[in-house]
Amino acid sequence: MPGPLAAQVAMWFGYLQAGAWGALAVSVPFVVPAFVVVTVVAVLYARYEGLPAVHAIFRGVGPAVLAIIAIAAYKLARATNRSDPLLWGIAIVVGASTVISGAELVWLFLLAGAFGAIHYGGGLPRRTRAAAISPVGVLAAVKGLAWSGSGSSLSSLGWFFFKAGALTFGSGLAAVPFLQAGLVDDHGWLTQQQFVDAVAIGLISPGPVVIMATFAGYLVYGIAGATVATICVFCRRCCLS
């Protein structure tokens, strides 16, 4: 079933004991404590991100998170590249260049995109509406406790996390590539560093890893965003259970 394993198992036990109401009775205490903890951390993070102490904490957690993301990225690469040697060649060349140089070489990404457009798309890439939207530095506008935000509409945010809960299978980490692509690349709601920090919070906080949706939702749209993101990422799996 879509969604993280722990939440699904807990809801299924609740359903076996008392039907749909039992599943709901289990899901609420399973999610709410983690939601409260992560929301508080998100508020403090948004307010004190620039302090050396906060930076030091996330610097220590970061390497562990990166190892987990590396595994998820490898699985994503297998699903994306499949058996196409050209795609694997692009991934290896760009990956090796990034490791050797210690930086992301933008021209390599542009060159890879141009090659893909010509070789696989039959022409140069056309400008899309999504590409025309510049990333929004949401965190710079949301400081401390914020009830709402302006980085996105709540409906767009809710729909994205609903899809994350409905279309990802396996453990909560299985959702990491999907969330990274949507939050960072497609919508530009978070920076890459903010996303890594969100995954870290999901790993070290009580509750399922996907509770990182609460953290990300807060950075995008304040308390309202945290609430909507949490409800939407869990509601689909609760219904399925």
| Cβ 121 vs Cβ 184: under 8 Å | no
Contacts of 60 by beta carbon, 8 Å cutoff, 6+ apart:
none
Q: pTM for this structure? A: 0.48
Q: How many domains are contained in the chain? A: 1
Q: Is residue 92, in this structure, part of any structural domain at all?
A: no
Q: Tens digit of pLDDT per residue, the chain (241 long)?
A: 555 667 778 888 888 888 888 888 887 787 777 778 788 888 887 777 667 777 777 777 767 767 766 776 777 677 668 788 998 998 888 888 877 876 656 678 778 878 888 888 766 545 555 444 343 444 444 444 555 555 567 888 888 888 877 766 555 666 777 788 888 888 888 888 788 778 777 777 766 777 888 888 888 888 888 888 888 877 755 555 5
Q: Is residue 114, in this structure, part of any structural domain at all?
A: no
Q: Is residue 126, in this structure, part of any structural domain at all?
A: no
Q: Is residue 59, in this structure, part of any structural domain at all?
A: yes
- Domain that residue 185 falls in: 5-74+136-240
Q: Is residue 93, in this structure, part of any structural domain at all?
A: no
**In the numeric block, which tokens belong to residue 49?**
């991100």
